[in-house]
Amino acid sequence: MRFAVALPSIGFAASAALALSFAAPAVAAENLTTPTSLKVSADVDPVEDVRVYSSEPGEGASPQAAAACGPFSAYGPPGGAWGPIATWINCSFWGTSSTSVKGYTWSLHSASIDGLTVCTSAFGYDNKVPYWTGAGCGTSGGKTVKWGNVAGIPKFKIRSLGIYTGATVGWY
């Protein structure tokens, strides 16, 4: 996150200390160097983003780590068209090996109309090439996608299966 703070009533030293207190959590104790085999997606801010790492090769990040970056919402308009792509905000997912995966979970918001269902699609990387894959239809679900040795922004999209009603889901 970026903050611009103007505090004319206090001195420069106090302003600098305040600015540092905001910036410290984003970069504190982070090694900002990246392995040469890691592909860093163009939409990642390696300094400002909160980093969520895959836990072990072949496993997705823990729910606790993902919770630091969500939940987020995705919208699907009425009539079955795909809604806009929803992304993590100020967070990025860092695969730690070529076999890293990203787990997604999603659930239709409780305020939705009874009987309404959606279909979903999740974003990943296969051999460092971005791709979309179906993440299920219904009222809730999950999907594990290939991620590999990539630092990228998780993305998700949905389509409402209601003819006259759009839908919103929460997702990690």
What is the span of the domain harbouring residue 104? Answer: 35-171
**Within this chain, do residues 98 and 23 fall inside the same structural domain, yes or no?**
no
8 and 80, same structural domain?
A: no
Query: Looking at the structure, do residues 112 and 145 belong to the same domain, yes or no?
Result: yes
Tally of domains in the chain: 2
Q: For 95-107, write each residue's pLDDT tens digit.
A: 888 899 999 999 9
Contact between 136 and 120 under an 8 Å Cβ cutoff? The reply is: yes
Cβ atoms 167, 116 nearer than 8 A: yes
Pair 167, 107 in one domain: yes
26 and 40 within one domain: no
pLDDT in tens, 10-33: 333 333 332 222 222 333 334 444
Instruction: Identify whether residues 102 and 166 lie together within a single domain.
Output: yes
Query: What is the SS3 assignment for 145?
Result: strand
Q: Say what the pLDDT of residue 58 is.
A: 43
